[in-house]
């Protein structure tokens, strides 16, 4: 596996240890200076303030631990500027997003394009905003990747080989290859390939192809570009066989029963984030220039693509197994 | 003494300041060492905690896919805490060698997280899943091995550092105990010396006062220093003065007693003497007496007269008349006196020595005085002056007004005689002291008595040109009803 960039620091345990040390030193100073005495009762905790709270689901677009860090920085800043406690809930799979709206009490999520199409159809969520990436684009496309030295030029060379998808609920990681297979006459890919499996993240799908754990794979270009930025050799080691249409980048969508005032504050927080220096830093760390307002109309290419593949979103089985 | 007190207080202030600073330093030092000790054990606890978390994640991983699996959120939470713990290490260590090891641990932890992420998100056939799970497990075991190795390598160092810190803390505690024990002792000794230096001279002075009170007027305070030395000098001066006054008082009392006796005796003698004199005068007129016997009777009568004069002088001294104050011009009294002297001088005829009289009288205010008594004083001084110049000389009488501390009239009577021997200067005002063959020794004491009744003084000095100068100093006072102001 290739080198990955290091994770950011988490301050909470360190702060606990520092507080413990300060308490020990303070206790010692009190003992030395004034001798032992009766212990003071602990101070009463400050009264809790009533703040709005929303729980946002995060899909495993990349390594789940890096994904947690990436979104925690964003939601923490959003909490500060909006006064709303924005909590995140990392999900192991794209498809879990749909289930967790029902079982885990999510108020919204940063949906992938296809998962939003599914959620909109089944849960009635409304999209608010999506980021413009550092390359100035607010869309992404899927790519079918093979190793450059694999000799694979089309589906003919793929027969009997291993194909790694990302998730059945992704445009780039599943819809694109499905369309590619159908277009090239492969109706039953499970019997056509020697092995197919779901890596769960775009990042793992790409690295599995690079590390020869799979022969072909599908992933989104934005994750690929992010990995290339760290390891330039990836661009020469891999070859792109096909691309999907451009679809909206992962966007924040909330349930319709969320307080409209909260929805508006979150939307304003996202749209205005790039206007203050701290927000700009957060966006840079997140990998975006700014957020733009997004509507259901922006997802028309996804819906058309799904229809082209022949998927009925109301009945589509998005589970990987 | 003031300086000593200031120095003492300053020394105390400096000692307490230095002691306080040292205590602060010791406490700060001990706090730092304890801080260091706490940090060292935190590091130890942190590493153990880190190792525990890795083992817990390994356990989660082992149970993944079984019916005992702990769930996605639990596993992710454990892995996040594990990663945070290794990040915490960067806040404690600063040595490059240790930092390299921790960087290696963080890198290995990241690999472990990557592998875990794959296990958690992947959906594939059992063989592939088992392969991924096994790969993650091996990465975890490697991480455990690295952490264990680091704990083992640094364990000894931690133990050594802990022992060093404890030793330093013990040393600090010993120094603190010594300071707490010695400082009060030193303070007590210093305070005793300081207080003793104050109370010792006071005790000496108190003892001397008690001796003086007991009547030992010859006792003197031994030599003391600083302000106590000045106090001792004053005390000794007071004792000397007291002794002198005591002697003076005793002498006065003796004189008073003698005077009373003599006055009574004189009074008893005066009357018989008068009778004898009358008898002698009558006997001297008897015709049957031969000329030789008549001369004897006449000589006896003369001696009786001399005895009467002597007795009158003695009685005047013993029982001086109370002065009758009236407004007097001193210059007038002087002129009257000199006129009396001139009359007596003319009656003496050619046998009197040639005396030149110089009179220098300044303008003087009138003052309350008994002119008869002052005239007696001045006449006595003039007669004495003339008597010490048997071969002639200059009699100088001067009057002046001093205004230094209140108005004082000064009258001087000077002669150019042989003067008074220095050893007699202190005695000439004592009763019955005389250098004249026929003197009574009561003239000058009577003069002093009369002058003192006027609130004045009389002194004698050598005349720069030879002879003696008597000075009478009389305060200028106004006459008021029944006395003087």
Number of neighbours of residue B31 by Cβ within 10 angstroms: 17
State pLDDT tens for residues A137-152. 999 999 999 999 999 9
The mean pLDDT of B138-165, rounded to a whole number, is 84
Q: Which of A147-156, B36-45, B334-343, B463-472 has the highest mean pLDDT?
A: A147-156
B379 vs A308: CA distance, rounded Å: 165
Q: Is B214 exposed, middle or buried (0-12, 13-18, 19+ CB in 10 A)?
A: exposed
* pLDDT > 70 in chain B, percent: 96
How do residues A50-91 score in pLDDT, each as one tens digit? 678 999 999 888 899 999 999 999 999 999 999 999 999 998
Kindly indicate the confidence band of residue A33, based on its pLDDT and cuts at 50, 70 and 90. Answer: very low
How far does B221 lie from chain A, in Å, by closest CA?
52
pLDDT for the residue B347: 66
Q: How far apart are CA B158 and CA B4, in angstroms?
A: 56
Beta strand residue intervals within chain A, DSSP E: 53-58, 85-90, 108-111, 125-133, 139-140, 142-147, 162-165, 195-198, 216-220, 238-243, 247-248, 251-255, 288-293
The alpha-carbon gap from B14 to the nearest alpha carbon of chain A, in Å, equals 22
pLDDT in tens, B221-248: 888 777 888 888 888 889 888 888 888 8
Q: What is the mean pLDDT of residues B183-211?
A: 85
Nearest residue in B to A95, CA atom: B121
- The alpha carbon of residue B166 is apart from the nearest alpha carbon of chain A, in Å, by 15
A104-108, A207-211, B392-396: segment of lowest average pLDDT: A104-108
How far, in Å, CA of B229 to CA of B4, rounded?
14
pLDDT in tens, B370-410: 999 999 999 999 988 988 888 889 999 999 999 877 789 99
Q: What does the pLDDT read at residue A49? A: 53
Of A21, A64, A93, the CB nearest to B39: A21
Mean pLDDT across chain A, nearest whole number?
84
Query: In terms of DSSP bridges, do strands B479-480 and B468-475 run parallel, antiparallel, or are they unpaired?
Result: unpaired
Report pLDDT for B321. 78
**Which residues of chain A neighbour B125 with C-beta distances below 8 Å?**
195, 197
Q: What is the phi/psi pair of residue A28, to 5°?
A: -60, -45
- Please state, for a pLDDT cut of 90, what percent of chain B lies above it: 26
Q: CA of B199, closest CA in chain A: separation in Å?
A: 38
pLDDT score recorded for residue B432:
77
Pick from A65, A90, A200: which is nearest to B83 by CB? A65
Q: Residues of B with CB below 8 A from A29's CB?
A: 27, 31
pLDDT of residue A6: 33
The β-bridge partners of B361 are B399
Decide if A113 contacts A171 (C-beta within 8 A): yes
Residue A214: closest CA among A130, A263, A147: A147
| Contact assignment for A204 to B46 by CB distance below 8 Å | no
Q: Within 10 Å of residue B442's Cβ, how many Cβ atoms?
A: 21
B141 confidence band (pLDDT: 50, 70, 90): very high
Query: pLDDT tens digit string along B303-320?
Result: 888 788 777 777 777 777
- pLDDT per residue as tens digits for the range B145-155: 999 888 887 77
Residue A293 distance to chain B (closest CA, Å): 30
Q: What is the dihedral of CA B74, B76, B80, B81, to 10 degrees?
A: 20
Residue A128's pLDDT is 95
Q: What percent of chain A has pLDDT over 90?
A: 66
Q: Report yes or no: A121 and A310 within 8 Å, Cβ to Cβ.
A: no
User: Is it the case that residue A24 has pLDDT exceeding 50?
Assistant: no
**CA-wise closest residue to B409 among B449, B361, B466:** B361
Q: Which residue of A has its CA nearest to B126?
A: A197
Cα separation, B83 vs B77, whole angstroms: 10
- Residue B108 above 90 pLDDT? yes
- A321 vs A314, more confident: A314
- Above 90 in pLDDT, residue B115? yes
pLDDT at A78: 95
Cross-chain residue pair B106–A6, CB shorter than 8 Å: yes
Of A213-222, B39-48, B471-480, least confident by mean pLDDT is B39-48
Contact B34 A21 (CB under 8 A): no
Q: Indicate if the pLDDT at residue B120 is higher than 80.
A: yes
Whether A152 contacts A216, CB under 8 Å: yes
Q: What is the pTM of this model?
A: 0.55
**Cβ contact, residue pair A24, B128, below 8 Å:** no
Residue B275, pLDDT score: 87
Nearest beta carbon to residue A4 from set B34, B46, B110: B110
Q: Which residues of A touch B120 (CB under 8 A)?
A: 64, 92, 200
- How many CA atoms lie within 13 Å of B176's alpha carbon, on the beta-carbon side? 16
Better-scored residue on pLDDT, B194 or B328: B328
Give the minimum alpha-carbon distance from A97 to chain B in angstroms, rounded to a whole number.
Answer: 13
Rounded Cα–Cα distance for residues B247 and B250 (Å) = 5
pLDDT at position B267: 75
Please tell me the predicted confidence (pLDDT) of residue B334. 94
The CA-CA-CA angle for residues B117, B123, B127, to 5°, reads 100
Q: Does the pLDDT of residue A9 top 70, yes or no?
A: no
> Cβ–Cβ of B88/A1 closer than 8 Å?
no
- From A276-290, B151-165, B249-263, B343-357, the region with the lowest mean pLDDT: B343-357
Interface of A with B (CB under 8 A): 1, 4, 6-7, 9-10, 12-14, 17-18, 20-21, 24-25, 28-29, 32-33, 60, 63-65, 68, 90, 92-93, 195, 197-201, 204, 320-321
- Backbone Cα Rg of chain A: 23
- Determine which of B118, B131, B172 to mutate to test the interface with A (most A C-beta atoms within 10 Å): B118
CB B121 to CB A10 under 8 A?
no
Instruction: Give A14's contacts in chain B (Cβ within 8 Å).
Output: 84, 87-88, 91
Q: How far is the alpha carbon of B235 from chain A, nearest alpha carbon, in Å?
A: 53
* pLDDT at residue B484 in the model: 63
The answer to whether residue A5 scores a pLDDT higher than 60 is no
Closest CA to B116 of B133, B128, B103: B133
**Residue from A9, A92, A219 to probe the interface with B (highest B Cβ count within 10 Å):** A92
Contact call for A200 and B120, based on CB within 8 A: yes
Q: Are B402 and B471 in contact (CB under 8 A)?
A: no
- Of the candidates B82, B88, B89, B87, the residue with the CA atom closest to the CA atom of residue B113: B82
Neighbours of B401 (CB within 10 A): 14
Substitution target from A2, A7, A89 for chain B, most B beta carbons within 10 A: A7
Q: Are A123 and A98 in contact (CB under 8 A)?
A: yes
Q: Across the A/B interface, how many CB contacts are shorter than 8 Å?
A: 105
Vertex A78: Cα angle to A72 and A84 (nearest 5): 110
ipTM: 0.80
Is residue A112 within 8 A of residue A250, CB to CB? The reply is yes
Look at the alpha carbons of B304, B306, B307, B312 in this order and tell me if their dihedral is positive or negative: positive
Confidence of residue A41 (pLDDT cuts 50, 70, 90): very low
Give the residue from A63, A93, A167, A321 with the most B CB atoms within 10 Å of its CB, the best one to mutate.
Answer: A63
Q: Which of A85-89, A285-289, B27-31, B324-328 has the lowest mean pLDDT?
A: B27-31
For residue B228, give how far its alpha carbon lies from the nearest alpha carbon of chain A (Å). Answer: 44
Place of tokens 């040292």: B22
- Give Cα B451 to chain centroid, integer Å: 42
Nearest to A64 among B42, B91, B117 (CB): B117
Mean pLDDT of chain B: 85
* Nearest Cβ partner for A204 among B42, B106, B121: B121
Mutating which of B123, B125, B179 best tests the A interface, going by the most A Cβ atoms within 10 A? B123
Q: Is the pLDDT of residue A34 over 50?
A: no
CB contact under 8 A, A321 and B31: no
CA distance B122 to chain A (A): 4
B111 vs A contacts (CB less than 8 Å): 1
pLDDT category of residue B451 using cuts at 50, 70 and 90: very high
Q: Which residues neighbour B21 within 8 Å (Cβ) at sequence distance 6 or greater? A: none
In angstroms, what separates the C-alpha of B190 from chain A's closest C-alpha?
Answer: 27
* Residue in B203, B182, B190 with CA at minimum distance from that of residue B8: B190
For residues A260 and A258, give the distance between their C-alpha atoms in angstroms, rounded to a whole number.
6
Helix (H, G, I), strand (E, B) or coil at A45: coil
Q: Would the pLDDT of B176 be above 50?
A: yes
Question: CA separation (Å) from B426 to B431, B433, B468, B480?
Answer: 12, 10, 14, 36
């Amino acid at each position: 596996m290739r080198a990955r960039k290091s994770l950011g620091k988490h301050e909470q345990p360190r702060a606990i240890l520092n507080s413990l040390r300060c308490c020990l030193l303070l206790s010692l100073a009190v003992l030395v200076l004034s001798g032992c005495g009766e212990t003071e009762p602990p101070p009463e905790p400050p009264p809790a303030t009533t703040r709005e709270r929303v729980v946002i689901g995060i899909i495993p677009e990349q390594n789940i631990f890096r994904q947690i860090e990436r979104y925690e920085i964003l939601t923490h800043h959003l909490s500060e500027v909006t006064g709303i406690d924005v909590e995140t809930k990392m999900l192991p799979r794209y498809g879990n997003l749909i289930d967790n709206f029902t079982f885990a009490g999510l108020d919204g999520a940063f949906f992938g394009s296809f998962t939003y199409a599914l959620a909109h159809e089944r849960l009635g969520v409304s999209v608010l905003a999506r980021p413009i990436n550092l390359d100035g684009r607010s869309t992404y496309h899927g790519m079918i990747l093979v190793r450059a030295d694999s000799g694979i030029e089309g589906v003919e060379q793929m027969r009997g080989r291993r194909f790694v998808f990302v998730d059945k609920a992704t445009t780039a990681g599943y819809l694109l290859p499905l369309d590619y297979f159908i277009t090239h006459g492969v109706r039953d890919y499970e019997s056509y390939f020697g092995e197919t499996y779901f890596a769960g993240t775009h990042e793992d799908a790409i690295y599995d192809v690079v590390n020869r754990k799979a022969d072909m794979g599908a992933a989104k270009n934005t994750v690929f570009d992010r990995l290339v930025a760290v390891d330039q050799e990836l661009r020469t080691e891999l070859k792109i066989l096909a691309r999907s249409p451009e679809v909206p980048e992962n966007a924040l969508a909330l349930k319709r029963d969320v307080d409209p005032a909260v929805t508006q504050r979150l939307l304003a927080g996202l749209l205005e984030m790039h206007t203050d220096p701290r927000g700009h830093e957060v966006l840079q760390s997140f990998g975006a220039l700014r957020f733009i307002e997004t509507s259901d109309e922006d997802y028309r290419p996804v819906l058309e693509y799904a229809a082209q593949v022949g998927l009925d979103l109301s009945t589509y089985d998005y589970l990987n197994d | 003494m003031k300086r000593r007190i200031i120095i003492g207080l300053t020394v105390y202030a400096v000692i307490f300041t230095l002691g306080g600073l040292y205590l602060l330093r010791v406490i700060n030092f001990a706090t730092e060492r304890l801080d260091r000790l706490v940090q060292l054990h935190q590091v130890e606890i942190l590493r153990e905690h880190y190792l525990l978390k890795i083992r817990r994640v390994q356990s989660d991983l082992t149970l993944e896919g079984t019916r005992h699996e702990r769930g996605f959120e639990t596993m992710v939470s454990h892995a996040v805490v594990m990663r945070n713990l290794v990040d915490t290490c960067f806040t404690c260590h600063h040595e490059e060698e240790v930092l390299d090891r921790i960087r290696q641990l963080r890198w290995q932890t990241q690999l472990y997280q990557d592998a875990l992420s794959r296990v958690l998100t992947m959906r594939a056939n059992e063989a592939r899943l088992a392969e991924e799970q096994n790969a993650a497990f091996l990465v975890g075991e490697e991480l455990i091995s690295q952490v264990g190795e680091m704990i083992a390598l640094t364990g000894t160092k931690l133990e050594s550092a802990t022992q060093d810190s404890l030793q330093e803390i013990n040393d600090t505690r010993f120094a603190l105990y010594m300071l707490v024990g010695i400082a009060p002792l030193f303070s007590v000794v210093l305070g005793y010396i300081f207080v003793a230096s104050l109370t010792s001279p006071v005790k000496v002075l108190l003892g001397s006062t008690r001796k003086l009170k007991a009547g030992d007027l010859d006792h003197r305070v031994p030599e003391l220093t600083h302000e106590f030395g000045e106090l001792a000098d004053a005390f000794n001066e007071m004792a000397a003065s007291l002794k002198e006054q005591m002697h003076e008082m005793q002498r006065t009392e003796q004189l008073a007693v003698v005077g009373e006796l003599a006055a009574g005796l004189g009074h008893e003698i005066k009357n018989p003497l008068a009778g004898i004199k009358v008898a002698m005068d009558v006997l001297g007129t008897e015709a049957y007496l031969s000329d030789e016997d008549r001369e004897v009777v006449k000589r006896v009568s003369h001696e009786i007269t001399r005895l009467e004069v002597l007795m009158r002088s003695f009685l005047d001294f013993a029982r001086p008349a109370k002065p009758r104050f009236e407004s007097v011009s001193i210059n007038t009294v002087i002129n009257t006196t000199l006129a009396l002297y001139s009359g007596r001088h003319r009656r003496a005829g050619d046998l009197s020595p040639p005396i030149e009289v110089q009179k220098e009288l300044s303008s003087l205010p009138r003052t309350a005085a008994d002119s008869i008594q002052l005239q007696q004083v001045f006449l006595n001084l003039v007669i004495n002056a003339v008597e010490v110049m048997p071969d002639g000389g200059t009699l100088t009488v001067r009057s002046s007004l001093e205004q230094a501390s209140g108005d004082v009239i000064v009258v001087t009577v000077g002669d150019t005689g042989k003067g008074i021997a220095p050893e007699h200067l202190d005695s000439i005002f004592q009763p019955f002291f005389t250098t004249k063959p026929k003197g009574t020794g009561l003239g000058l004491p009577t003069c002093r008595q009369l002058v003192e009744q006027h609130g004045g003084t009389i002194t004698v000095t050598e005349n720069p040109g030879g002879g003696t100068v008597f000075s009478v100093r009389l305060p200028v006072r106004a006459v008021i009803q029944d006395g003087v102001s």
